[in-house]
Structure 1
Amino acid sequence: MYRHTQEEALQTLDASRQRGLSASEVQRRLEEHGPNAFEEKKPKTLLQMFLSQLRDPMIYILMGAVVISAALGEFSDAFIIVAVILLNAVVGVVQESKAEKSLEALKQLSSPTAMVRREGKVSEIPAAELVPGDIVLLEAGRIVSADLRLLSSVNLKIEESALTGESVPVEKDADFVAEGDLPLGDRINMAYLSTAVAYGRGEGVVSYTGMDTEIGKIARMISEAGTEMTPLQKRLADLGKVLGIVAVVLCVGLFGVAMLQGRDLMDMLLTAISLAVAAIPEGLPAVVTIVLALGVQRMVKVNTIVRRLPSVETLGSVSIVCSDKTGTLTQNKMTVTRLFMNDVTEEATRAEYEVYRLLINGMILCSDASVEDGVRLGDPTELALVDLGLAKGITKEALQERWPRINEQPFDSTRKMMTTVHKSRDGETISYTKGAMDNIIRNCPQILKDGEIHALTGPDQERIEAAARDMAADALRVLALAVRWDNTEAEESDLVFVGLMGMIDPPRPEAAEAVQIFKEASVTTVMITGDHKDTAYAIAKELGIAHSTDQCIAGDELSRLTQEELNSRVMDLRVFARVSPENKVMIVNAYRSHGHIVSMTGDGVNDAPSLNAADIGVAMGITGTDVAKGAADMVLTDDNFASIQKA
């Protein structure tokens, strides 16, 4: 639907933007498509889950041992073996319920209501009653109730991190039309079920509901996911088969020898059975459970909660660690790292406030973000500007007290700028314009250098553009600032260029060390992210994960590969960018096809299928969604990549 124009989308869905659907048409479509909800399988009963735990070679042997021990009058042995069987079955039931919990958490993400236009009137209805063709109204604070093709967008930004992994709200453009296949994060004319409207307003036509939505596809992958045995469980199952064969051979052999020697057959039968029972290590499952439980206790001390007991052993066998970027390898916090002013580029940590006073003050005042009493409000990019001020000892509140805002032009996607006007107590007026460098410089005939205003020349512009290119090459998000004095109307012409700021979500300080320790232990770290390829590679290079762009692949290219083609290439790849949930499962399966034990970390709804597919899934405890935690085997309580290495 993102490749259709608005008119084509409305025509395809047989919908009217002005009137919406009629009541009779809604009823017809509801019968055709079903409610806007996830399909619910009949859940297994506790008894069914319990009985399924008894289908194991070792358990069969132990059951045989119970019968034989009871027949021989060894009731204490029989009781102990029964206790071991029950303990293992209970642990298995707890493990099996995790997928159901993931799906239950997924249902909680859906918005309970939606604002729709039907028969020309706007009303609020239960989201489950939405049908394809409904016209839905969006505003800040609302959860998107279905997958929508946007029809209008006014400064619309949508938080899609749980679905795409993108840490910054996505700016939407209803007029955009894609020419080819695009990853989820680049479909800026679409809004998806369970994402949140962070800013602005808009309208959209429902294109998909229920299990046909992007979230619905994830729900289907979770529900269809099988349960894989861990390496330890596989070895124990193999051991059970061997012991069973040995026990049978012993019984038959001893009984056969007795027959040849003419001994009492009943006595020898009892002797043979006793020997077979003795060969069965009925205490082994209990010992394994105790050892793994001790491992769980140790891992709690390094901020790791184990949800599935056998995964303790699996972690020690991991040879590939697939990690999300945002919040795991990085700090999940946009940070200003570079400043450009007076033809000089400087690291933000070394920049003196007095030298960059106008640039820093202007960026802070020309923002709507705030940090008060530890509460952070606003866009992550603007919060980074406020944080820079705090690092230099300047608060936004103090600046606003001296320079209160008297006028403004809000940001919009056409201008890619915003302007605020401020007036001091002594009557001085100044306007700050912040935005994309190309748009800002186009409106700047002058430039500020060392406190003096000069005409902005061709060489000046070349130096500014070169500084911006250098920042962009390191995957920094670049913002420019311009000023104008005595401009009470917030006009965005005849501006004076001030400087640039570059920001990024930087790597965690301890992540590079953890990657190196993994490398020394012959464990390969792989980055899988919903972010752009350039940004992902810049972080991966800094952490030592990748050393060449040839080791990177984007989701659009990945989607064109078959599983077999990816299997043949995957060992040469270290960075996967702009990936979909289906891509992530393909990546995990590709590494496993080479015999690797794969760990997958994630925090979003989009990570749940791959957390299920991996040998061991690791979710984030702080930023992680309930869906991701429900699908994972382990949870990192500090969201820190280094905790995996410590565990």
Structure 2
Amino acid sequence: MFYNKSKKEVLQTLNSNEKLGLTTKESTERLAKNGKNILESSEKKSMIKAFFNQFKDFMIYILIIAAIISGFLGEITDAAIIILVILLNAVIGVIQEAKAEHSLEALKQLSTPKALVKRDGTLSEISSEDIVIGDIVILDAGRYVPCDIRLLEDVNLKIDESALTGESEPVTKDSSLALDNENVPLGDRRNMAFMSTLVTYGRGVGIATSTGMNTEIGHIAEMIKENTDSTTPLQKKLAELGKFLGFAAIGICILIFIIGLFQKRPFLEIFMTSISLAVAAIPEGLPAIVTIVLALGVTKMSKENAIVKKLPAVETLGSVNIICSDKTGTLTQNKMTVTKFYCNEIYDTADKLDINDTVSKLLLEGNILCNDATFTDDTKTGDPTEIALLEIGYKYNIIKDELSILHPRVEEIPFDSDRKLMTTVNKYNDVYYSFTKGAIDNLLKICNKVLIKNTEVDLTDNLKETILNKATSMSSDALRVLGLAFKKIKSSNMTISTLESDLIFIGMVGMIDPPRTEVKDSINTATLAGIKTIMITGDHKDTAFAIGKDLGIADSINEAISGSELDKISDSELNKNIDNYRIFARVSPEHKVKIVKAFKSNGNIVSMTGDGVNDAPSLKAADIGVAMGITGTDVSKGAADIILLDDNFSTIVEAVKKGRSIFKNIKKSIIFLISCNLGEIVTILISILFNLPTPLRPIHLLWVNLITDSLPALSLGIDEEETDIMNEPPRNPNDSLFTGSITNLILNGILIGLLSISAFILGGAIHSNEIAYSLQHFDISGVILGFNHLNNTGNIYYPQTMAFIVLSVSQLVHSLNLRSDKKSIFQVGIFSNKYLILSIILGIVIQDIVTMVPFLASIFKVINLTSKDWLLVITLSITPLILNEIVKIFKRNKKRMR
């Protein structure tokens, strides 16, 4: 730590000479010893390795086994379809992963390509990669700092550190500052300059103290390199579901073998039946459907100015209940703005300034002339505070370029941190006006009069107290206060002591980096949706609280905590008390990661928004990292999961809405597929338990799972948003995918199974007198006898065709039930999801084609049905819709009674 050492100590420690710098020989030796001044990259994963990593999923293992078994049984088409789904899923995963990890590359690009150093007693411009510890580095306006530096000299030096520390204003540096404390926050180390920050004003000289990965930005790069578990909740739930279904499939196979042994069935028949059940237990199209639904969600999000880099981030954002937001540039506009003024004994907002009043106009003119910044519609350069003064003048049509021609500057005394004042002398006709602006306390000490209603009045103790009270009022609102005074002089050749004495106080302005106009409403919307907004900033605690209070983030200063206070709290204590804080001020990058992890430790799903280099580690540590697309650095964009194209906090709330809707739709798709598969299992299990022939062949089940069910599942995945979705609390990340839906899933699965086996039995009854007779007398032995007759005559295809079509069509119709668990399909709107209706129609048409085209019928071993058969099939198939509509009526009535 060099910030708490004197200049002499630093030079001695690093064995360098302030006037001569290092010799070429010394710099070469140090470069060989410590390495280049660059940021290391993490080892890149090869495309082949990334591809094979996509197969590390239990459900994928089961699908591969199913494909192998299908091929072994000669069902080459079934095997090919399963393999195609697996490969498609892997390719999509690799493409998304390839775009995800570029943060370290962006960090490298932030390093300044050239740097000015002293070598062998002369100034040399070298590559920043060749800077070594001990180099004497020259800084000037517009130049990036090439490494971490302990300042030795400074002349009005200001450095923009917002990307590193979150500080909204450039930091005034002071090389002579003595810092004895060993735990000074990064933003308060004013005798230091840090790698990749920007010099905005003045010049300086310093000695390189750290290079490459040992710099502050290097520490950030190291944190980004750390491997963290980035698995999202949906991925975890699907992995759990895959394992459950896999074990269920194995269990079903074992169960069937045991039952088959007791029934003394042929081995091949038992084997075929068990495979059928295993296929029925696994929704083969689920991984691809979820991936496609997420991809479609990404397209929706992009239309709302939110670019999603990782598909699973869509659903994770919908379950977020904590948004940790950087203040500068995210909640605020990232520009200083004059909001209040005081002159002529008037204290009001800046928009109430009377430009026709002489004193008010002089207040604006003086602040514009005593100013080194530039401002046009296209460009703004200089200190943000001075830019704010030019901008308020611009609003009142007082343009600096025009004013400077009318009243040219003839003399100036630059600002310095000791005086905290700046003075310029401008020509006004036959006299000169000396304008002095700066800190109100320092300014009042050199004033003896006040300009009130164009009259010079003595600055009495009462007037001074009034002015100070107004300044205090501005400060309490976290405004930065600048006062302005002047005097008329006959000659411009005067000393500082003469120019800055016996002045006439004109007035003062208060400015702040104001909140974005739309942010407050967005925060209110988030609050109603059960989402807590947390402000994290590098600004001082009082400034942060003032902004937070205005936005409705916090009500009490007790809800704010500073970085130095965080250092005194253990991780366990912070985890315990984290919910008591809404504002974190004066924090470092390490603090941000600590805060995010503390919220996550309590089971929260955390989103972190930011735009600076300093935000990158916390963006990566959060469940969802959201970077700003306009003001965001490449580093923050590289580390984030989602990028906002408009830098608008409201877009985050809209993204949450989209995320919730997308997850809900994915859940609809999953519930639909699992309930349909359960129906298939019930159908086959009943046939086994009653020793009936297998009603569905493996190819029937694969066809239904991969083709017929897939289109409705996809259509449910793009269902319309529910109007009241933001009135619901965030989804509990610990909840199962089936929370609140398990009863509906099981009952509908059983219903579909019963309808399918009924179609099988009724189809057999139509072609077998034994079955018809046994049905009349409820004799199961007669039914079995009848089916044996069908087996012998080859007419088993007929009842299997009936079961196949009822299974398929009843599942298609059942998709309508999933659109809402309480609202009638008529309330939701039958045609409001046109894709679903088309899917159902197309599914029915495809089933008809399979039975009518001889070539396909021979593959599926089905026969064409008569119009009477179709009437029976339709009657059975629409039963799930009718029964669910009746159940929903009772649900709505129960809700009304409550």
TM-score by length of 1: 0.97
Counterparts of 1:295-334 in structure 2 under 5 Å? 295-334=297-336
The alpha-carbon deviation at position 172 of structure 1 amounts to 0.6
Higher deviation after alignment, 238-247 or 57-66? 57-66
Counterparts of 1:275-354 in structure 2 under 5 Å? 275-354=277-356
Q: Distance in 1 between matches of 2:79 and 2:145?
A: 58
Q: Is the 8 A contact 1:68 1:277 kept in 2?
A: no
Higher deviation after alignment, 90-99 or 214-223? 90-99
- Partner SS for 2:142: coil
Higher deviation after alignment, 572-581 or 6-15? 6-15
- Write the letter of the residue equivalent to 2:565: E
The alpha-carbon deviation at position 98 of structure 1 amounts to 4.8
Higher deviation after alignment, 432-441 or 595-604? 432-441
Q: Distance in 1 between matches of 2:650 and 2:517?
A: 10
- Partner SS for 2:102: helix
Q: Distance in 1 between matches of 2:620 and 2:84?
A: 30
- Write the letter of the residue equivalent to 1:109: L
Q: Is the 8 A contact 1:340 1:499 kept in 2?
A: yes
Cross-structure match for 1:481: 484
1:635 aligns with 2:643: yes
- Write the letter of the residue equivalent to 1:469: T
The alpha-carbon deviation at position 373 of structure 1 amounts to 4.1
Cross-structure match for 1:385: 389
Q: Distance in 1 between matches of 2:103 and 2:83?
A: 32
Q: Is the 8 A contact 1:99 1:223 kept in 2?
A: no
The alpha-carbon deviation at position 344 of structure 1 amounts to 2.6
- Partner SS for 1:349: helix
- Write the letter of the residue equivalent to 1:500: M
1:445 aligns with 2:448: yes
Higher deviation after alignment, 490-499 or 352-361? 490-499
1:179-232 CA-to-partner distances (Å, cap 9, x unmatched) read 222221111111111111111111111111111101111111111132421111
Q: Distance in 2 between matches of 1:394 and 1:121?
A: 46
The alpha-carbon deviation at position 443 of structure 1 amounts to 1.5
Q: Is the 8 A contact 1:98 1:631 kept in 2?
A: no
- Partner SS for 1:125: strand
Q: Distance in 2 between matches of 1:10 and 1:459?
A: 52
Counterparts of 1:66-81 in structure 2 under 5 Å? 66-81=67-82
Cross-structure match for 1:567: 575
Counterparts of 1:19-418 in structure 2 under 5 Å? 19-98=20-99, 100-180=101-181, 181-355=183-357, 356-418=360-422
Q: Distance in 2 between matches of 1:598 and 1:41?
A: 25
1:544 aligns with 2:552: yes
How large is the Cα RMSD of the aligned pairs? 1.6
Q: Is the 8 A contact 2:100 2:309 kept in 1?
A: no
Distance of aligned partners of 1:629 and 1:593 in 2 relative to their CA distance in 1, 3 Å threshold: same
- Write the letter of the residue equivalent to 1:567: N
Higher deviation after alignment, 49-58 or 153-162? 49-58
1:578 to 561, 568, 586: 586
1:362-385 CA-to-partner distances (Å, cap 9, x unmatched) read 111111222224222222111111
- Write the letter of the residue equivalent to 1:214: E
Q: Distance in 2 between matches of 1:523 and 1:268?
A: 54
Cross-structure match for 2:604: 596
- Write the letter of the residue equivalent to 1:571: D
- Partner SS for 1:410: strand
* Structure in which a larger fraction of residues adopt strand: 1
- Partner SS for 2:351: coil
Cross-structure match for 1:611: 619
1:5 aligns with 2:6: yes
- Write the letter of the residue equivalent to 1:524: K
The alpha-carbon deviation at position 453 of structure 1 amounts to 1.4
1:105-135 CA-to-partner distances (Å, cap 9, x unmatched) read 1100001222111232221222222221111
Higher deviation after alignment, 18-27 or 273-282? 18-27
1:62-113 CA-to-partner distances (Å, cap 9, x unmatched) read 2222222222233333333223222332333244345531110110000122
1:402-433 CA-to-partner distances (Å, cap 9, x unmatched) read 21222222222222221122113x33321211
- Write the letter of the residue equivalent to 1:407: E
Q: Which aligned segments of 4 or more residues in structure 1 are displaced greater than 6 angstroms?
A: none
Q: Distance in 2 between matches of 1:16 and 1:98?
A: 46
Q: Distance in 1 between matches of 2:504 and 2:207?
A: 43
The alpha-carbon deviation at position 163 of structure 1 amounts to 0.7
Q: Is the 8 A contact 2:21 2:120 kept in 1?
A: yes
Cross-structure match for 1:470: 473
Q: Is the 8 A contact 1:336 1:501 kept in 2?
A: yes
- Write the letter of the residue equivalent to 1:422: N
- Write the letter of the residue equivalent to 2:447: C
- Partner SS for 1:32: helix
Q: In terms of Rg, which structure is larger?
A: 2
Q: Distance in 2 between matches of 1:80 and 1:585?
A: 45
- Partner SS for 2:398: coil
Structure 1 residues without counterparts, runs of 5 or longer: none
Higher deviation after alignment, 367-376 or 55-64? 367-376
Q: Is the 8 A contact 2:407 2:426 kept in 1?
A: yes
- Write the letter of the residue equivalent to 2:492: T
Distance of aligned partners of 1:639 and 1:461 in 2 relative to their CA distance in 1, 3 Å threshold: same
The alpha-carbon deviation at position 173 of structure 1 amounts to 0.6
> Which fold has the larger relative contact order, with Cα–Cα distance below 8 Å and residues 6 or more apart in sequence?
1
Higher deviation after alignment, 96-105 or 165-174? 96-105
Q: Distance in 2 between matches of 1:186 and 1:587?
A: 20
Q: Distance in 1 between matches of 2:96 and 2:295?
A: 14
Q: Distance in 1 between matches of 2:41 and 2:406?
A: 58
Percent identity of paired positions between Structure 1 and Structure 2: 54
1:459 aligns with 2:479: no
Paired positions, count: 646
Q: Is the 8 A contact 2:535 2:584 kept in 1?
A: yes
- Partner SS for 2:116: strand
1:496 aligns with 2:504: yes
Q: Distance in 2 between matches of 1:87 and 1:614?
A: 29
- Partner SS for 2:293: helix
Q: Is the 8 A contact 2:100 2:310 kept in 1?
A: no
Q: Is the 8 A contact 1:225 1:612 kept in 2?
A: no
* Structure in which a larger fraction of residues adopt helix: 2
The alpha-carbon deviation at position 300 of structure 1 amounts to 2.3
Cross-structure match for 1:620: 628
TM-score by length of 2: 0.70
Q: Is the 8 A contact 2:435 2:485 kept in 1?
A: yes
